[in-house]
Amino acid sequence: MKKYLRQKAAMNINYVVFSSFLFLPIHASDKTITPLRTMALEAATHVLHAKLQEPQSYEDRIALINQWQEKSGLVTLKDDCKQETILDRFEQKYFTQLHEFKTLKYPIGAMTSDGTQLIAVDDNFNLIVFNTYNDHSLTLKGHTDHISHVAIISNNTKAISSSADSHLRLWDLTTGHCLAILEGHSDIVSHVAITSDNLKAISASYDTTLKVWDLNTYQPIATLQGHSDEVNHVVITSDNSKAISVSDDGTLRLWDLNTYKLIAILSEQKANLYHVVITPDNSKTISASDDSLLNVWDLNTYQHLATFDKHCADVSHIAITSDNLKAISSSFDKTLRLWDLNNAQPLATFEGHTAFTHVAITPDNTKAISVSSDKTFKLWNLSTGTLLQTSFLGSQHNRNKIHIQKNFVAAENKLFKLEDWQSIIKRMPTE
């Protein structure tokens, strides 16, 4: 059957081809795509492989694309709900990919919002600032123990690093100079967050406190006390009015950043709370803990809204879509789970990793990206749960973090570029 399909496809299917991608001749009037035709189209990709490698100029490629779009009725098909799954199957398979753009020696700890600079962390507790487009780099020396987090000021000129040496350091990303050492914690500084106006930073520490820092004077403004165990993570609302911290004491605490007072204790679990996120509209917060649960809270009423309990091991990380409608969580159970935040219901389970994972969502809310200790990096369709691509990371630094800015995605020591079919074609060799 497959041999017949290959022969039939080679003889009878009209096609427009480009490099290693097949441009499908689906017409707007053709409302039925049979399984037989689907198989034939897929078989054709193998039969026509040699043809697909033929070199063409960029102008010829663009002309072919325009011709194909005009004849295929692509816009009509995209608006046709019945055809959406067919387009998704083929367009996602052939026209979207993560292109490996740059490989560094060390894991990437942060990326500037314009995607032009990467900050890696080496084995000697130094930060190394790399230019995305060339080999220029700066080494930032000063920390004496492991670096836990790097936060970048929104204008991309400065960064703050937190460390197990109990200090934070403020860096000039242009010169590589250390502008200030923020001292005051007596134990590991686990995390640091910066207000969107770049005026304040908030650090979380294993000494059970949080500290608020003035980024103009480099002095501490306040110490937030109340936790009784290690503080693991802190986030700030987008209006800079509140901060939320989670701790091994099982509590999630909401702080007023104008008065520096405790507003509410939103959770008192018998579990270690690892991670916390806030929806972009500041209406909800979600915590992740080592009892396999996610808890959702209303930030206006301070009421508990839902518990998500489908994971079967520690929940490590949460990401939220920019439209506030969905969240995706990663876990030590090796799965990702997608949740409906309005109806408090599970939507999908993404399986495929064989070890602990970390997850992020692309800016257009259409895809999820996961990185794992199994040394793989996976791209998923967020709506269907379909696995679109697996990339192998090679070396494994076990940081398991993802950074997404613009169309760049950083995981471990590799930088990828998330591309649609148009940008893929543009970078194809012309000779």
Decide which of 128 and 375 is more confident.
Answer: 128
Query: Domains in the chain, ordered, with CATH?
Result: 2-90 (no CATH), 99-425 (2.130.10.10)
Q: Which two tokens stand for residue 49?
A: 């492989």
Burial category of 134 from C-beta neighbours within 10 Å (exposed 0-12, middle 13-18, buried 19 and up): exposed
pLDDT of residue 366: 87
CA distance 147 to 140: 12
Q: What angle do CA 121, 126, 132 make, to 5 degrees?
A: 50
Q: Which two tokens stand for residue 365?
A: 């809310």
Collect all residues with Cβ–Cβ distance below 8 Å to 5 and sequence separation of at least 6.
36, 39, 40, 43
Q: Please determine, for residue 288, whether its predicted confidence score (pLDDT) is greater than 60.
A: yes
Q: How far from chain centre, in Å, is Cα 244?
A: 21
Q: How far from chain centre, in Å, is Cα 198?
A: 23
DSSP 399: -
Report which of 75, 96, 150, 76 is spatially closest to residue 120, judged by C-alpha positions: 150
The number of C-alpha atoms within 13 Å of 401 and in the hemisphere containing its C-beta is 17
Dihedral over Cα of 77, 83, 87, 88: its sign: positive
How much is the mean pLDDT over the chain? 79
Tokens 């929806």, residue? Answer: 279
Q: Is 9 helix (H, G, I), strand (E, B) or coil?
A: helix
pTM of the model: 0.76
Report which of 85, 89, 25, 17 is spatially closest to residue 46, judged by C-alpha positions: 17
Q: Please determine, for residue 322, whether its predicted confidence score (pLDDT) is greater than 90.
A: yes
Tokens 């295929």, residue? Answer: 72
Dihedral over Cα of 333, 336, 338, 341: its sign: positive
Report which of 371, 382, 379 is spatially closest to residue 347, judged by C-alpha positions: 382
Decide which of 288 and 78 is more confident.
Answer: 288
Q: Rg for the chain (alpha carbons), in Å?
A: 24
Tokens 């098909």, residue? Answer: 77
Q: How far from chain centre, in Å, is Cα 271?
A: 26
pLDDT of residue 408: 85
pLDDT in tens, 33-54: 344 444 444 443 333 333 334 5
pLDDT in tens, 178-237: 999 999 999 999 999 999 999 999 999 999 999 999 999 999 999 999 999 999 999 999
Q: Which two tokens stand for residue 196?
A: 């969107």
CB 342 within 8 A of CB 327: no
Report which of 179, 173, 148, 176 is spatially closest to residue 161, judged by C-alpha positions: 148
